[in-house]
Amino acid sequence: MKAINAIRMGGVDVLPLVEGGKGVSVSNGASCGAWAASGGVGTFSAVNADTYDASGRPIPQVYHGKTRRERHEELVRYAIDGAITQAKKAWEMAGGKGRIHANILWEMGGAERVARGMLDGAKGLIHGITCGAGMPYRLADIARDYGVHYYPIVSSARAFNALWKRAYSKTREWLGGVVYEDPWLAGGHNGLSNSEDPRKPEAPYARVLKLRQQMREFGLDDTPIIMAGGVWWLEEWEDWIDNPELGPVAFQFGTRPLVTRESPISDAWKQRLMTLKKGDVLLQPFSPTGFYSSAVRNEFLQELEERNERQVAFTAEPIGEHLAEYGVGPRKRIVYVTPHDLARINHWEAEGFTEAMRTPDNTLIFVVPEKAREIVKDQVDCMGCLSQCRFSNWSQHEPDFSNGKKADPRSFCIQKTLQDVAHDGAMEHNLMFAGHNAYRFGSDPFYSNGFVPTVKQLVERILTGR
């Protein structure tokens, strides 16, 4: 196994080991600070991060606003305060070692306001901003204004090309590195384009080489590429290390740091990860962001799959094969479906799925009454946690804060479920993001007998290659 030597990143020498920035309260100041103290790059999530009371307990994010706009302002305030809290914790734990990065999602609600508010309130504590989930053109401007490095997350050379030509070429001195996030292997939201098949994964080497070739055209030969997604044992990536064709490469670990003592997730969640089998993580299309995302197969995802399968197209007037009448809602407003679909509807209703809910695509889905009430309540309670949300039809970019479409009951409130699972909520009934290699917890001898390492022990283990 080749030696893992420090590389230049963000103006300093650090171990080429990066903690991936998971979402709501799943990578925090404690895990980030411990990773940085071990000589690598720690990353805390600045996505609606926790603040704490005098006893150190997370303060629930409760919304009092009567309108979505009012609740959105509360959410932004919570996010800024939480990010500052986590930055201070990370700085304290790191003791001046390594690097501290904050992870934001460009498509989260108020992303730029949160980033600037965080950097205003945590001056000198944050060395870099990692950002994906969208095309973060303005990320470079934020980094320049606050004198920190920026690390865009991309899944293709084409995406980086667009970012560079439109924005990043003007602030090249603050580009600390480029994160290549494998869209078929990484956990959380993934950057699959319309031309890529979610069922046909592509090997990362050729895609990362193409990214490096694109970066070299822009004079970025020495800017590190951070490989994210599918990294477990570094001996499996030995041909990437000190490879002149790829240039400087660092490796990002998103899923493995979940099972550490500093990780803020519950012990039950950590134990659940250790029981996963290959195939227990699903790349699925249900996110209200419109992106594919990877999460643990559980009852939450099963219900979404089944909900979307109980779906039929309808027309407002009898057209073509849509000749069978069906009454929707309490007033039984007539729409037209095919005779075949009417038979399916009758079968679903006999099983208890009696509530028909309209989607923006002129289809109906069928759910039990309790689920219909839950969906409607979650849509009404929207606090604008995304820049735009297909589930609730919120959009922060429009004057009326609506995307102009019907709210889509085929999706879910992502803020609600991520807050719940991060704060000891039921694991079967919430979204649990994970990378596709999470099943390896169960076979890696490092975790035998349920061993949960410290971050320091994990980093030391990673440096051995195995």
DSSP symbols for 213-253: HHHHHTT-TTSPEEEESS---GGGGGGGTT-TTT-SEEEEE
60 in Cβ contact with 118 (< 8 Å): no
Nearest in space to 427 (alpha carbons), one of 305, 287, 290, 301: 301
What is the reported pLDDT for 134? 78
CB count within 10 Å of CB 272 equals: 20
The predicted-structure confidence for 26-45, as pLDDT tens digits, reads as follows 999 999 999 999 999 999 99
What is the reported pLDDT for 466? 84
What is the reported pLDDT for 197? 86
What is the reported pLDDT for 199? 86
What is the reported pLDDT for 58? 93
Residue spans of the chain under pLDDT 50:
none
316 in Cβ contact with 325 (< 8 Å): no
The predicted-structure confidence for 330-346, as pLDDT tens digits, reads as follows 899 999 999 999 999 99
What is the reported pLDDT for 195? 81
- Say how far apart CA 306 and CA 368 lie, in whole Å: 12
Helices 204-217 and 157-166: crossing angle in degrees, nearest 10, is: 20
What is the reported pLDDT for 265? 94
- Say how far apart CA 198 and CA 282 lie, in whole Å: 11
